[in-house]
Structure 1
Amino acid sequence: MTIQTVGIIGAGTMGNGIAQACAVVGINVVMVDVSDAAVQKGIATVAASLDRLIKKEKISAADKDAALAHIQGSTRYEDLQKADLVIEAATENHALKLKILQQVDALVPPQVIIASNTSSISITQLAASTSRAERFIGMHFFNPVPMMALVEIIRGLQTSDETHERVKQLAERLGKTPITVKNAPGFVVNRILVPMINEAFFVLAEGLATPEDIDAGMKLGCNHPIGPLALADMVGLDVCLAVMEVYLKEFGDSKYRACPLLKEYVAAGRLGRKSGRGVYAY
């Protein structure tokens, strides 16, 4: 059965990005957040993103209007009952996600698939907190969602083949390239990416090169579009640290030890772009 309506919990950066990706291909969206202000801000962000595409002549004004017409904003979880798939895109907080998922599970019909956009939390564990573990899956989009082609589809231990196939087909319909991943801390991309960022901090701490030269080395030597330290500032140094601490706890392997300099920056409130200062000043 084709997914016609997608419910999205969270109208922030990831939520509104997923909403845009769905709406531009004609999928109906119900985007829910805790306040009308948050919902309206999310819809305004989508509109601004579509305006940029109009300026680049990638879409028309009519395309923008059609996409926005597919997005319904709401503060009521009850409005998710019409969805074929509900994607939880709330803050990366375990307790919060469990609370939201259990509320949604109790409200939506049993045939509805529930997905989490988590980047680190166990899909198997989240699935077990619901009454539909076989219809629960991870759908990890990358930021900015409208631009990034990848979606990690994470199968929990209980996820059925049918659920996996339907979600994979949806990702392809969105114009994304899905990769299927087993449940494990950090899945695939962040499992490789965040330790690389952490190693860049060790290189910086040891004084081997300046931040600018470290980033230039990885951009020019490995063809990365952005250097690891600049990327850390974009992601948030506190987020990078939290992920490394999860890896160390879950794997029990000292290779996931967070760099002391990364810890020091976070302790000083130098969290990256969002705080105005990280490795670089903004």
Structure 2
Amino acid sequence: MSHFKQQNMATMAVAMSGLIWGILWIPLRALNAAGIDGLWTTVVFYAFPAALLAPLYVFRWRHLIQGGLSLHLPSLLAGLGLVLYAEALLYTQVINAMLLYYLTPLWSTLLARYLLGERIFLDRWISMILAFAGILIIFKIDTGIPLPKNIGDWMGFASGIVWAFAAVYMKKSGKQNTMDVTLCYFLWGSISALILTQLPMEEAQQPPTLAQLHDVLGWLIPVVVILIIPPAIAILWGASVLSPGILGILFMTEISTGSISAAMWANEPFGLREILGITFISLAGLWEPLRGSLGANKRVENRHT
């Protein structure tokens, strides 16, 4: 497969995965509503996919050990980053968690510049300006600087920085077996979520009972099999192909489905401001892929003339 086709496939995979993950706050909050306490919700959310993938851990254990730091460090960072993001979705408004997390294209682009030596071209700056314009419109910049205000906001902010490091190290470590990265991602995500249950939160943080877990299995299994594992594989593969900055911008498609679904089912605000913000964010995600496609088409035309 040509590099251009691979980049196009990765672009589509990441953008579609972002759209799907925009509704993951729903099963997260459903677990919480089922009586599984706060931070333990995220433990279940990560440990359950890991449990379903158990046969692959047995089959691939030698590869997972041989992968060493270049496999496990970016997987650990990715797991921790998205665990923090999942917990932000529980402890603040869905749209706040998303917008603070999606400062990640800025961190990713800057880290890629200084750790990978990637040049920052004009198209990337345009994408980031469009993306942040959308974020600031939704976040009501006219009412003041949108600083984090609670533990959920801070988790969302931290998750974007941690994920930026993960994306850069995935790109830096070169090609890894995508299934091995996925297995390590869910493993380290589960461990990170378990460690974070020790945070001194005000509310009770009791481990779920077997009865509580049994009650949610009926709907959790299809959610994991359809909405969690396949997009995770697509995103982790995309991270090895795409620039960390464009990866973060493409993944912003999550904001669109997230803000619309939160308005529909969580009574969060959605009006002209949100529509305008989503439009800018969508343009940011499309800008570089479209420019790259047009450039490739022009090169093909020039070769034929």
Q: Which TM-score applies when normalising by structure 2?
A: 0.25
Relative CO higher for 1 or 2, CA cutoff 8 Å, sep ≥ 6?
2
Q: Which TM-score applies when normalising by structure 1?
A: 0.27
Query: As a proportion of its length, which structure holds more helix?
Result: 2
